[in-house]
Structure 1
Amino acid sequence: MAQQYKVKQRGKLLEFLFTNLEGWSKKKVKQRLQGSSVAVNGEVTTKHDFILNVDDIVEVGMVHRAGTSAQTTNRLEIIYQDKDLIAINKPAGLLSVGTIQENKQHALAILRTQLSRGKNSVKLWPVHRLDRDTSGILLFATSKEMREAVMANWGKSEKVYLAIVEGTPKENKGTINQPLRLDEKEYRMHVGKHPDAKPAITHYTVKESKEKRSLLEVSIETGRQHQIRAHLAWLGHSIIGDERYGTKGGRMGLHSMRLSIIHPKTKKILRFEVDAPKDFYALLN
């Protein structure tokens, strides 16, 4: 969801953002503006000298207009972009990449269209994937070689999620070290020892607890398909709204909050972080 700000005096958009987005670096503000993640009165703009008038409404983030949803949006919030890598904040309900049945309305296609100019089509490769109902950081590379270079060190990357689960774990902190095996017929992970199972390690910390639900911060050493969902269900605390491993519901309570990687070219650590939207935290209640 987008953050909204009301303009109190006439001025330029970039100066307004610098003033109102407290704690944001100027570089981050410019990236959001250039990434089409800023709207004025419902219209997306990338112009830093766009003139704001008193009572204008400025939105920063994933801008949702009336009647739109993750399935119908045509713009994505870009949180980082350079010549090699692009990170977005994927909304819940949107596929990361297409399938045979759904090959148009997915993050890869939307982002490619969003960044392309005329006949100059942008080529993108997904570095990893998020499940359709998981929101948060999704990373793309602008070449196959860059994707493979990032994946070569994927095991060293920091991957942190927020999860809202049923009940409260007995221990405030814990580690789940249980192998996972994909059942292709049921399309779900089975937890436990098996000749075909692969190692999987998940760490969790309880951040907040209500009467029937808890907010966890979860980090994973491995990156198996459905790893967090299957591990937490095995622990006895399935993720809210996870029909496959728990109970059917509305929005699934899983959000990719933080990702840190080593940039293959610069060798510098890139750290992306984006908080969960309001509808995620609403699940805790």
Structure 2
Amino acid sequence: MTQEINLKSEISATQTGLRLDQALAELFPDYSRTRIKEWILSDAVYVDGVMVNKPREKVFELQQIEINATLEEEVHAAAQAIELDIVYEDDDILVINKQAGLVVHPGAGNADGTLMNALLHHCPNIEHVPRAGIVHRLDKDTTGLMVVAKTVEAQTHLVAALQAREITREYEAIVLGTMTAGGTVDEPIGRHPTKRTHMAVHHSGKPAVTHYRVAEKFRNHTRLRLRLESGRTHQIRVHMAYIGHVLVGDPVYGGRPKPPKAASPEFFEILKNFKRQALHAVRLELAHPVTCEIMSWTAPIPEDMVILTKALRQDTLEHPIEY
């Protein structure tokens, strides 16, 4: 369960010169320093109407503070023996290739059987790290690479690197429609005004930037490579829907099967049976939070997307694109 909260206050004379995180801890003592720092790093804190995401920023008397954040109910997860595809592991971090159908952490409708449960079983000491070391999320049916911190120090560094856009995350997707060129979508994303489980491009949302390039064109679909500058909920799915190219199979944003004219029954069957968004986190690059070594990993395209891509190629071969 989540709760939308709005907090407002004013910096006092005695708080002049304090760091933002220190001042907020004094202004809002009901919330932990860790939670306050998370809010600052997640662009939820505004000083005199301007978003500030640096905990060390100095504050001054009479400045107006506002926090617009989502307060997540604390979930006490149990360790469960769930198989993980571990790509890399050392004393500080863990990189996994997440399978489709695996929810990242417990919540409404998913009390257990999540990545968090699996992490607590694989690495019991991770229970001492907030959110069991989870730094960023992938949607339930999105596959691919995720980094997890095994210590509080590693998590702090990785969260800061993510906010500073120092972690590279590349995705592969298949969308409806033939795209002629790549580009960038720079549109804010927030909660849908009427559908609370949906996100949408909205002027009052948080900044979100998605870069994309065409990797392969098909008759009525396109394979894309995408790179995120921000990490909003459903970002790629929402941005692609916004520009009229919904992800194939997306159950939320309308990626229903739309076979091209004269498509074979076999091709239509593959398209119809693709029940998840065709999205895979294919590449991850970051500076190790302790050694500072630049590290990079890639995850092979999952079998269902490989089969879909082959079917799209065959369909295009049988019905060449006309320019």
Q: TM-score range by the shorter chain?
A: 0.5 to 0.7
Note the C-alpha offset of 1:122: 4.5
Distance 2:190 2:100 in 1: 25
Partner of 2:188: 179
The structure having more radius of gyration, on CA atoms, is 2
Which of these residues, 145, 158, 169, is aligned with residue 159 of structure 1?
169
- Counterpart amino acid of residue 252 in structure 1: Q
**Matches of 1:73 and 1:242 in 2, distance apart?**
29
In the alignment, which residue of structure 2 is the partner of 1:283? 308
| Residue aligning to 1:139 | 147
Q: In 2, are the aligned partners of 1:251 and 1:280 still within 8 Å (CA)?
A: no
TM-score, structure 1 as length reference: 0.68
Rounded Cα–Cα distance in structure 1 between residues aligned with 2:137 and 2:217: 29
Distance 1:122 1:198 in 2: 30
Out of 273, 276, 284, the position equivalent to 2:298 is 273
The answer to whether the 8 A contact 2:199-2:238 is kept is yes
Q: What is the TM-score normalised by the length of structure 2? A: 0.60
Gaps of 5+ in 1: 1-71
- Determine the structure 1 residue equivalent to 2:254: 246
Structure 1 residue 182: Cα displacement? 1.7
Change (3 A) 1:100 1:79: same
CA shift for structure 1 position 73:
8.3
1:255 offset after TM fit, Å? Answer: 0.3
Paired with 1:282 and 1:186, the residues of 2 have a C-alpha distance of 33
- Opposite residue 182 of structure 1, the aligned amino acid is R
Matched, 1:92 2:117: no
Matched residue of 1:153: which SS? helix
Distance 1:100 1:246, change over 3 A: closer
* 1:114 Cα deviation after fit: 3.3
Shift in Å, 1:253: 0.1
Q: Distance in 2 between matches of 1:134 and 1:188?
A: 16
Given the alignment of the two structures, is residue 103 of structure 1 paired with residue 111 of structure 2, yes or no? yes
Shift of 1:187: 2.1
Kept in 2: contact 1:97–1:106 (CA 8 A): yes
Change (3 A) 1:136 1:265: same
- The SS at the match of 1:190 is strand
The structural deviation recorded for 1:250 is: 0.8
| 2:288 paired with 1:263 | yes
**What are the ranges of 5 or more consecutive residues in structure 2 without an aligned counterpart?**
1-79, 257-273, 312-323
For the aligned residue pairs, the C-alpha RMSD in angstroms reads: 2.0
Question: CA deviation digits over 1:97-127, x for unaligned, max 9?
Answer: 11143232011212332345xxxx5533101
Distance 1:220 1:88 in 2: 19
Instruction: Count residues with an aligned counterpart.
Output: 207
Residues 95-104 or 80-89, more deviating: 95-104
Tell me which amino acid in the other structure corresponds to 2:184. Answer: T
Greater helix proportion: 2
Q: Given residue 143 of structure 2, which amino acid in structure 1 is its aligned partner?
A: S
Query: Which runs of 4 or more aligned residues in structure 1 lie more than 4 Å from their structure 2 counterparts after TM superposition?
Result: none
SS at match of 2:157: helix
**Corresponding residue SS for 2:306:** helix
CA distance in 2, matches of 1:131, 1:179: 19
